[in-house]
Structure 1
């Protein structure tokens, strides 16, 4: 058994782990990174990059089939060569992974330990059966994995998770996707536009990450118009039948339906990879899902020498958040016992569907909880159905809702579905991080004709409801204090 003593041990070699390792090395002499699987990131291998490659192919197909309204007619059918589609997806995916691997290869070999780690003491990690590490500080950056009901394993190889799709050489004729969240929407719509028969099912009525009932309803009806979507399905049964799966469900009209699909895709969320770390041997404070609770500004857990970052933290499972959290956790693990609050940016999330979905700052649900009880929530709204540039491009589907605080006029957040939402979200997130007011945002330049003019319309809608004489800031503070009491 090899014995090591180090300043910092980072468990995980993905986005958060790599960021943590590099940050810790700025302060500590001996830092190691432990990884049981391939070094690299979920994003490059099975997440954001390959999914966007599939979406890009789907957009090309959809655009080619949607030119008639412009008076541009393509003679003959648009043919999707699904084998060629997947060949490009995998080729470009491997190229992105290569860049990540190059970065990992630049790390000294003695700093990389291959194997799965678990705690055998408050400062001691056992890596498989070959190495025991005593670490003064530890960063948990073990990422996440797809999660689904274990009973579905009875479907055998007819059940796949989203990670598996990017190893396909060809596309199936039909699929059922369970989970109309970010991953389910992106992959489901893309596969539909590439010629796959898609049925999408959910429980509870949620579509994407949206919490605003008006935006969520708009999104639901928009996607339902394109492919079968049942956000709150009543599933009667799902059974394997040879090389297919039989599914019986009750549709929105109460009618019993039977379908047969080639595969079932589980897109029902991801689970932090902390269950095999033997955390029960520690006195860590855990949340209801067994995930260590970390301070969002320092990423320090309830045990001062242990930090947690990335998907394993169960805070915001996004690549840019993982990179930020890893940097903060590694920096503090390296400089410990001195701690420094890290930069936490305004929240921003995007679903690369068509229309796109985006959210920034506070969600509607959070804004209602903080401002709704004291009647201090102002909502500005715009529909993109008659927005000039959107209509010119025949991209005129969407709804943007902006949340502001009465009295101060400060932008609190926004939820939207619409054209170029990924770009609109960045503008709004930058304004949110600068704590701009609605009036200050309206003073910014808006060109004509651009989609951003829709943002101005929503801002004007909010401005019309603002009362500068309101004492909402004081009222809401009193409400919060009463609630805490």
Structure 2
């Protein structure tokens, strides 16, 4: 068996693994990256970019469909499913190709192909022919879609996950989508607007990553009116009948059935750790055998093993994965001199229509920490620029700290959320007060003026009432 000795071994060549490799190289040239699948990140191949390509096609179709609202005569909208998916695949392959080209410029001795597993704390086996002895190890194995037990066995190739969608040659006639999280919402709405008969199944009324009850209620109302959305579906049971997926479920106590060509399962993703034989890594494993890493160092329990990206399950987003790769790779390279690094202000965006944004972890994070906060809000229903564009749906809620007046975070569903979310995340990272944000420029007429209304309301709640002694000199007591 071939034996390789390195200072740092990185398992996985996705967004986190690539940045971990580059960061480790600043400290040692004895680095190897082990990858068992095709090169090309989750984002480029089956995530961020192909999903936005599908959404862009859906937005074009939707714009044509609602053109008469503006007095513009539209000659009709025909969606060519094969042309849609051809562009999705071609552009997806272009994005993934950039990643592949980058990895293939690395020295050959820095790349190993095959599945890796722990044999001992510092020893990895790659396939059946190579052993890697590593001083430090970075786990950057990514994640995979979760499928409920028995569903795949029941449905066979009629069941698909989000990764499969971007390899389609054509759009199906009908799809059931199980899971109203970020992926489920984005794909269900896009497919619906492209002419696919869709029903989205959620649980407990939740909508994407939103946690503020007021914002969730508005979002649920918007999306249930936009497409068939069973937000409170219970006892979901798919079966295969005459080549169709029959979805049996209950909603508000009523049993229902509906058949579709396919079932798209988008109920979540799980870290790719099950084949690593972590029991041999000498780590203290948490529940379900998953190790817990420090988000500011990437290190697992003071050991020589680090984690980054979706495998760590901290925040499964590309910009977070690359940050974690830099942190874990640098610390693995300089080990044992591990350094803590502050993370960026949390920011999450959902590319539905209207979009959603969560800044600072939102309502749930503040509540979980026991933080005292005040809330300001603004509806987009009568917001000037939003009405001009006929995109006047949604609600923004902003949070501030009593006493200090510091901005703490926000949740919103509404127009331009991807841009407003960035403004708010920058303000949070700079530790601005709500009054400083109110005093910043807001151009007219813009959607951002809706945000200003929410901030002004919050500022009034946070500002202590000052007593003007001059005006009250002649006031009678109690007035």
**For residues 87-108 of structure 1, what are the alpha-carbon distances to aligned partners after superposition, in whole Å with 9 as ceiling and x for unaligned?**
0000000110111111111111
421, 431, 434: which one aligns with 2:430: 434
The alignment status of 1:383 with 2:382, answered yes or no, reads no
Q: Is the 8 A contact 1:180 1:201 kept in 2?
A: yes
| CA distance, structure 2, for counterparts of residue 18 and residue 236 of structure 1 | 39
| CA distance, structure 2, for counterparts of residue 258 and residue 127 of structure 1 | 47
Alignment-derived partner of residue 165 in structure 2: 165
**For residues 41-92 of structure 1, what are the alpha-carbon distances to aligned partners after superposition, in whole Å with 9 as ceiling and x for unaligned?**
00000000000000000000000000111111113x2100010000000000
Q: Is the 8 A contact 1:200 1:228 kept in 2?
A: yes
Alignment-derived partner of residue 453 in structure 1: 449
Alignment-derived partner of residue 471 in structure 2: none
| CA distance, structure 2, for counterparts of residue 23 and residue 158 of structure 1 | 42
**For residues 225-271 of structure 1, what are the alpha-carbon distances to aligned partners after superposition, in whole Å with 9 as ceiling and x for unaligned?**
0111112212363211132111122234x332221100000100000
| CA distance, structure 2, for counterparts of residue 377 and residue 249 of structure 1 | 39
Shift of 1:277: 0.6
Alignment-derived partner of residue 418 in structure 2: 422
- C-alpha spacing 1:52/1:236, structure 2 compared with 1 (3 Å): closer
The alignment status of 1:151 with 2:150, answered yes or no, reads yes
Alignment-derived partner of residue 261 in structure 2: 262
| CA distance, structure 1, for counterparts of residue 408 and residue 338 of structure 2 | 29
- The 5 Å alignment of 1:174-185 reads 174-185=174-185
Q: Is the 8 A contact 1:298 1:342 kept in 2?
A: yes
Name the SS of the counterpart of 1:464 in structure 2: helix
Shift of 1:29: 2.0
- The 5 Å alignment of 1:191-340 reads 191-235=191-235, 237-252=237-252, 254-340=253-339
**For residues 177-232 of structure 1, what are the alpha-carbon distances to aligned partners after superposition, in whole Å with 9 as ceiling and x for unaligned?**
00000000000000000000001112232110011111111111100001111122
Name the SS of the counterpart of 1:454 in structure 2: helix
- The 5 Å alignment of 1:56-75 reads 56-75=56-75
**For residues 314-370 of structure 1, what are the alpha-carbon distances to aligned partners after superposition, in whole Å with 9 as ceiling and x for unaligned?**
100000000000010000100111122234100001100000011011320121233
- C-alpha spacing 1:30/1:462, structure 2 compared with 1 (3 Å): same
Shift of 1:166: 0.6
Alignment-derived partner of residue 479 in structure 1: none
Name the SS of the counterpart of 1:7 in structure 2: strand
Alignment-derived partner of residue 119 in structure 1: 118
- C-alpha spacing 1:208/1:236, structure 2 compared with 1 (3 Å): closer
Name the SS of the counterpart of 2:462 in structure 1: coil
383, 394, 401: which one aligns with 2:397: 401
| CA distance, structure 2, for counterparts of residue 111 and residue 242 of structure 1 | 51
Shift of 1:303: 4.4
- Alignment gaps of 5+ in structure 1: 471-485
Name the SS of the counterpart of 2:275 in structure 1: coil
| CA distance, structure 2, for counterparts of residue 136 and residue 345 of structure 1 | 29
Alignment-derived partner of residue 354 in structure 2: 355
| CA distance, structure 2, for counterparts of residue 157 and residue 459 of structure 1 | 50
Q: Is the 8 A contact 2:120 2:282 kept in 1?
A: no
Shift of 1:459: 0.3
Alignment-derived partner of residue 7 in structure 2: 7
TM superposition score normalised by structure 1? 0.94
| CA distance, structure 1, for counterparts of residue 353 and residue 302 of structure 2 | 44
Q: Which moved more, 1:231-240 or 1:292-301?
A: 231-240
Name the SS of the counterpart of 1:239 in structure 2: strand
| CA distance, structure 1, for counterparts of residue 465 and residue 3 of structure 2 | 67
- C-alpha spacing 1:369/1:150, structure 2 compared with 1 (3 Å): closer
Alignment-derived partner of residue 472 in structure 2: none
| CA distance, structure 2, for counterparts of residue 91 and residue 465 of structure 1 | 52
Q: Is the 8 A contact 1:201 1:233 kept in 2?
A: yes
Alignment-derived partner of residue 480 in structure 1: none
- Alignment gaps of 5+ in structure 2: 467-479
Alignment-derived partner of residue 33 in structure 1: 33
Shift of 1:468: 4.1
Q: Is the 8 A contact 1:284 1:303 kept in 2?
A: no
